[in-house]
Each structure stands twice: as structure tokens, then as C-alpha cells.
């Protein structure tokens, strides 16, 4: 494990987590409390939700790994992320 980054550079980590929480709260609230106008949920909808959710989790996780000094894990996820991007063509 590498050395953690100084907390003064935590803006990107905090901002990414705020975006992830906003996405979860807003889409979750729409699905739970205002589902009357939504089409029937299909397996494709679930795949889309999983794929896009994984993207937002990755978006929040990457700066967190850097800030905590886990550079190797950050790089590994970065190398695997094109697989997630390719799945967008099928589910997003």
C-alpha cells in the first residue's frame, strides 16, 4: 500500500460520493414513491440499473482509493473499467 494522500485534496472524493448518494436517493425515490407512470420493470431495466449503478460506485470508489493510498487497487479497477463501459452498449 502506498502512502495516503493529504486530506486537503479530498474534494474529488467527497464530490463523487455526493453524486453517488444523489443518484441513489433520486432514482430510488422515483421508483419507490412515484412508480405509477413507470413502464413495467423488465430484466433489461435491472441490467441497466446494475450497470449504471456500478459506474457511479466506480466513480466514487476511484478517488477514495487514491486518497487512502490504495494506488494498486485504483489502477486495477481502472484497467477493468473498459469492460463496464462496453456493457453500456447493451444495457444503457
In-domain check, residue 1: no
| Neighbouring residues of 84: CB distance < 8 A, sequence distance ≥ 6 | 51, 54, 55, 58
In-domain check, residue 2: no
pLDDT digits (tens, 9 = 90+) for 13-41: 899 999 999 999 988 887 777 777 777 88
Print the domain residue range for 46.
8-33+42-91
| pLDDT the model gives residue 33 | 78
- Domain count within the chain: 1
| pLDDT the model gives residue 52 | 92
How confident is residue 10, by pLDDT bands cut at 50, 70 and 90?
A: confident
Distances (CA, A) of 54 to 16, 39, 51: 13, 23, 5
Whether the predicted pLDDT of 11 surpasses 80: yes
Q: Report how far residue 44's alpha carbon sits from residue 71's, in angstroms, rounded to the nearest whole number.
A: 34
In-domain check, residue 3: no
Amino acid at each position: 500500500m502506498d502512502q495516503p494522500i493529504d486530506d486537503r485534496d479530498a474534494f474529488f472524493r467527497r464530490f463523487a460520493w455526493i453524486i453517488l448518494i444523489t443518484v441513489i436517493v433520486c432514482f430510488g425515490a422515483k421508483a419507490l414513491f412515484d412508480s405509477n407512470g413507470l413502464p413495467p420493470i423488465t430484466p433489461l431495466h435491472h441490467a441497466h440499473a446494475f450497470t449504471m449503478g456500478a459506474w457511479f460506485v466506480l466513480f466514487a470508489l476511484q478517488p477514495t482509493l487514491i486518497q487512502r493510498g490504495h494506488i494498486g487497487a485504483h489502477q486495477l479497477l481502472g484497467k477493468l473499467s473498459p469492460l463496464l463501459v462496453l456493457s453500456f452498449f447493451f444495457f444503457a
